[in-house]
Structure 1
Amino acid sequence: MKSRNLVLGMAVIALGFTACKNEKEKEAEKIVDTYVVYVDSLGTVATEDAKANWQSIEATYELKSNQAATALTELKEDEKVKEKMDASKAKYDALKAKMMAEMEASKPDPKQVMRNALFGEGKIGADMNFSWVNAGNIHGVYQQFVHTVEDNKDRYSREDWDEVKMMYEALDSRKNTVEKEGLSSSDNRKIAGLKMKFAPMYTLNRMGAKSEEMQKAKQ
């Protein structure tokens, strides 16, 4: 009788372990399915919305991916489940590559951003065409240029200063043409004052930017 009770007791315990194990496996499968469904759902998100919320999407993906990887161990590295997870990972990686490429392509050109600040939105493009600068507006153009440089001088890198110098020389070249087209003596004097302000500001700040760059390189 005792022996029979012992066998029955062991059978109950075994059934308990099996039930517990099945519950863990079911929970693990549910976690993996949640991961797969999440990745699938990303395919329905509009591109612009995905780009705008990419940080949040990536953080959520990492969390669900790690949870699914842990759940897979509960399923004894089940090959079918692993294949399902690998397919979802490949799908996510493809989406991420697409998003990264689109976000990179939509980034504003830093040189154009600088040109817009120095001369006005869309006034100067990569072709460096200054034909719009004339005797009537050239003083204002120099004014905006020099004041913008002054406002940003502490933020410019050595490369930025080189770009500033190139655009300044292009503007100066245009001035030579404008002078022959009726530039007033008054505006010419004002421009000369702005040029006197720009020259030492450029020299000192570019030297400072170069020194700072060299210090960072040593570190």
Structure 2
Amino acid sequence: MKNLNKFLVLAAIAVIMSSCKDEKKEMADKKVEEFKMYVDSISDVAAEETSKNWESIEAKYEQTKMDAEEALNALENKAEKEADMDKIATKYEEYKAEVVQKRNSMFRENLRSSLFTEKISDDMSFAWVNKDNIAGVYSNFIDTVEKNKDSYNREEWDEIKLLYEALDTRKNTVEKEGLSSKDNIKISGLKIKFATMYRVNRATAKSDENVEAKQ
């Protein structure tokens, strides 16, 4: 009788343990599938669309991935599922690279179009700038920067500085083409104004972003 009871207890324990293993496996399968479905769903959308709300997409990705990893950690044999996770993550990273490239392109285009009335080529040669319009180009550029100086982040300030230096390079050419003394003096004053704005606001933007990162 005692042996029978012992057998029944062991059998019950075995059933319970098997049931727990099955539940853990089912949960892991479910979470990995959810992770896969999420990555598949965003990867089917054009990068220019997802780039508009990428922060929320990435936050959801990290949460879904973490949920799947936690479910896998409860399994004894998880090598196969981990391999699946790696494939899914690789697909996501490839898509993310495409989105980042698109975002950077859109960021540059939007900033440049706000600072100049003409389209800026990738070589930033400013071929359309001449002795007759260069003072106005500087004025529009620096007036726009001054108007928005409190809203620019470090990345935007770095792009602004890059554009400013390219415009300065064009000025060296234009001077040889007969730039008037009046316009030269005006540009010199604008350059001093920009240098002060850049030094103060670029440093402030860096400080603000450091505070946000710590929070």
Bin the TM-score by the shorter chain.
0.5 to 0.7
Aligned with 1:5: secondary structure?
A: helix
The structure 2 residue matched to 1:203, chosen from 192, 196, 199, is: 192
Distance in 1, Cα, partners of 2:13 & 2:87: 38
- 1:108-127 correspondence to structure 2 within 5 Å: 108=108, 113=112, 117=115, 120-122=117-119, 126-127=125-126
| Percent identity for Structure 1 against Structure 2 | 22
Quote the residue 1:188 is aligned against: none
Q: Please say which structure displays the higher CA radius of gyration.
A: 1
- 1:9-158 correspondence to structure 2 within 5 Å: 9-108=9-108, 113=112, 117=115, 120-122=117-119, 126-130=125-129, 142=135, 145-146=138-139, 148-150=141-143, 152=145, 155=149
Aligned with 2:65: secondary structure?
A: helix
Question: How far off its partner does 1:30 sit?
Answer: 0.9
8 Å contact 1:161–1:206 — kept in the other structure? no
Question: How far off its partner does 1:31 sit?
Answer: 0.8
CA gap 1:23/1:212 in 2 versus in 1, 3 angstroms? closer
Question: How far off its partner does 1:202 sit?
Answer: 2.8
Q: Which amino acid aligns with 1:20?
A: C
Question: How far off its partner does 1:146 sit?
Answer: 3.0
Distance in 2, Cα, partners of 1:50 & 1:204: 38
Distance in 2, Cα, partners of 1:22 & 1:109: 54
Distance in 2, Cα, partners of 1:31 & 1:104: 33
Q: Which amino acid aligns with 2:115?
A: A
CA gap 1:34/1:150 in 2 versus in 1, 3 angstroms? closer
Distance in 2, Cα, partners of 1:99 & 1:167: 33
| 1:54-100 superposed Cα distances (whole Å, 9 cap, x missing partner) | 22222221111122222222222423222222221222222222222
CA gap 1:91/1:15 in 2 versus in 1, 3 angstroms? same
Distance in 2, Cα, partners of 1:168 & 1:207: 20
Quote the residue 1:7 is aligned against: 7
Question: How far off its partner does 1:173 sit?
Answer: 5.8
Q: Which amino acid aligns with 2:95?
A: L
Distance in 1, Cα, partners of 2:107 & 2:37: 31
Q: Which amino acid aligns with 2:92?
A: Y
Question: How far off its partner does 1:25 sit?
Answer: 2.0
CA gap 1:10/1:100 in 2 versus in 1, 3 angstroms? same
| Structure 2: unaligned runs, 5 residues or longer | 150-156, 207-215
**What is the TM-score of this pair, normalised by structure 1?**
0.62
| Superposition CA RMSD, Å | 4.1
Distance in 1, Cα, partners of 2:173 & 2:11: 91
